Structure 1
């Protein structure tokens, strides 16, 4: 399930594992700190991309537990939410209800059910520590909102939540329940999309290459020839191997100085057709997509007055610029292939060209 759903951080409640320990699932190096605060709270420090987050896994006391147990849990939780970049997940055993009066800062407009005493306590915790209940900020159908189904098949409640502090609240792009993942439990999988750049676990860096296509320009050809002539040794060496190494070094260093080299990235876009026209088209497309996503996010979270026409206008603008970028890329690729074929035709006719790579 972790691989199928592309889950980076998974938290579990009510595992009934004995002792304060952990079970091995896989080797990862993103977890830098781990602390078993109590039987109900686990604190971990996780690195995702260039960001570091404090992940709190919480299992709150159920309705009917003694006041002493609930008070102890609240005090322990208060001590753990005083850091930055907090992400709290788990079974809160609390219902927040639909009334958000006095809690507009921490609750979104999309709630479910009625509030109980435990819900009041969690809301007070959010107000005191500036935490946001992120799965109430996104409009969803009941099937993507209800986190727990009673064993009788009738009762439906929302008692699992994802809470973040206000510093990283904007990084949460979406939150929903996946009904098909329940692991033999009456709870359903609650997920959130966190907007942070993460390097792929399977990423393999490419070796940088000389930008040999720049040799097509006459000015670069002449500069390359002059530079090679200056760097080539003027006297014979003791061995052929030494003379060859000096010759190779002169050629390669001259090409690097004139043409430069590509970056060692997985998706290397420094190709012959990746010119200023393609760069501008992709930049405008990305800007249109960001404007559209920003407006949609604000519309879903009701942070600004509803304006359906503005969202639709931005969607059309993005689609138009997306198609335009595809068309420009196709045109530049076709031009690049024509130039390549012409070069190969000249070589076939006996033209001697020096290609450095």
Structure 2
């Protein structure tokens, strides 16, 4: 228990516990859900699995209805009902790699039972299968065969018979072996040393259904814990943080009206005329004041969209001083230019050329006149704002006209004679 607290493990899967029968126990503030052989069949063979929950996890499990199932002496399952997604935790202890028919039958029975458990898990659950699989897998071979990418690239062994069954299980159920997807030192990948040849192997695994693979942040072994407990398997810790897709906020589309039409007297008169029928609601005593306001706003929006709607053919942003008259002349000038080019070398060339030159001169005259009027209006507006002690409005007008603001430190500073000042001290004094 001290090692679980030291490594801050909230849910632990224990294999080869040698605990008989099945049930729930409270040991040193940890809740044990265990399953083993019946106590009437005393044996020295390895058996038994358990799931150990700390206080926080135990509270969630109890609030979820304390749902658990002892499938066999090698499989135990619990289910936690969490806020966003439910978790199914399965602790297993697989038979050793088979060397004869009897052992092969036991191994096959174990995987059949495990498949039945997985098949009964709700599709929306995130399920985690942890324990001693006594299986060895090889990543490179599986990548070449393109078997659903259940095995990652970081493996240390050659696939054995139990490993093939494990790969088949993962492929059928879209499960990944999380250990093999994280690169660590060999000491942090392997979990058990063969007592004969003294070689380290990876036989303890954590499996997660593939759609929650992004929630697994790390998986590695810790060797110090095994020394304190006295087991030949090292502690495997997996770090999980659930990630969910963010919900897009429904933002109402901003309605943009044509400012040119809003300054048009005819359009304004039409807008006011359309609003007259809505004024009758103001005298209706059967309608509440809130409903009157909502109706008025709705009528305002509807009529504004109808009257001041931006023409799709004129969506392109244009200068404030441009008028419809100038745009019409410019369009005629463009048409005249095309006609002139199309009649080059013909008798009508001079006629179209003169027409184009006349329209070009007219457009230039109109533009110069309108620009002068526009800047006079702007200057009067700024001057009026300053006289009325409204510098904010004057500043907003200037900022609107200047466009994007330049950073002061990047601006060229000149002296009285127009020479560029390069010294920072002189620039500050200037």
Q: TM (normalized to structure 1)?
A: 0.52
Q: Distance in 2 between matches of 1:152 and 1:120?
A: 23
CA contact (8 A) 2:76 2:92 kept: yes
1:16 equivalent to 2:18? Answer yes
Change (3 A) 1:3 1:115: same
CA contact (8 A) 2:148 2:171 kept: no
Q: Distance in 1 between matches of 2:79 and 2:197?
A: 38
Question: How far has the Cα of 1:57 moved from its partner?
Answer: 0.4
1:29 corresponds to: 59
Question: How far has the Cα of 1:141 moved from its partner?
Answer: 0.6
Q: Distance in 1 between matches of 2:167 and 2:11?
A: 25
1:186 equivalent to 2:245? Answer no
1:130 corresponds to: 174
Question: How far has the Cα of 1:22 moved from its partner?
Answer: 3.4
Question: How far has the Cα of 1:69 moved from its partner?
Answer: 1.5
Q: Distance in 2 between matches of 1:4 and 1:67?
A: 39
2:92 corresponds to: 58
1:211 corresponds to: none
Question: How far has the Cα of 1:128 moved from its partner?
Answer: 0.4
Q: Distance in 2 between matches of 1:116 and 1:150?
A: 15
1:93 to 134, 141, 147: 134
1:163 corresponds to: 207
Q: Distance in 1 between matches of 2:133 and 2:82?
A: 25
CA contact (8 A) 2:97 2:160 kept: no
Counterparts of 1:107-256 in structure 2, within 5 Å, are 107-151=151-195, 154-182=198-226, 183-196=229-242
- Higher relative contact order (Cα pairs below 8 Å, separated by 6+ residues): 1
1:4 corresponds to: 6
1:81 corresponds to: 118
CA contact (8 A) 2:15 2:131 kept: yes
Offset from partner CA, 1:226-276 (integer Å, 9 cap, x none): xxxxxxxxxxxxxxxxxxxxxxxxxxxxxxxxxxxxxxxxxxxxxxxxxxx
Q: Helix, strand or coil for the counterpart of 1:167? A: helix
1:330 corresponds to: none
Aligned Cα RMSD in Å? 1.9
Q: Distance in 1 between matches of 2:204 and 2:82?
A: 23
Offset from partner CA, 1:57-82 (integer Å, 9 cap, x none): 01111123523212221111111113
1:222 corresponds to: none
Offset from partner CA, 1:267-317 (integer Å, 9 cap, x none): xxxxxxxxxxxxxxxxxxxxxxxxxxxxxxxxxxxxxxxxxxxxxxxxxxx
Q: Distance in 2 between matches of 1:93 and 1:162?
A: 13
Q: Distance in 2 between matches of 1:185 and 1:111?
A: 23
2:374 corresponds to: none
Q: Helix, strand or coil for the counterpart of 1:2? A: helix
Of Structure 1 and Structure 2, the greater helix share is in 2
CA contact (8 A) 1:151 1:186 kept: no
Change (3 A) 1:150 1:22: farther
Aligned residues between the structures: 197
Q: Which has the larger radius of gyration?
A: 2
Change (3 A) 1:81 1:47: same
Instruction: Give the unaligned 5+ runs of structure 1.
Output: 198-357
Q: Distance in 2 between matches of 1:48 and 1:136?
A: 27
Question: How far has the Cα of 1:151 moved from its partner?
Answer: 3.8
CA contact (8 A) 1:150 1:186 kept: no
Instruction: Give the unaligned 5+ runs of structure 2.
Output: 30-54, 244-430
Question: How far has the Cα of 1:47 moved from its partner?
Answer: 4.3
Question: How far has the Cα of 1:49 moved from its partner?
Answer: 5.7
Q: Helix, strand or coil for the counterpart of 2:88? A: strand
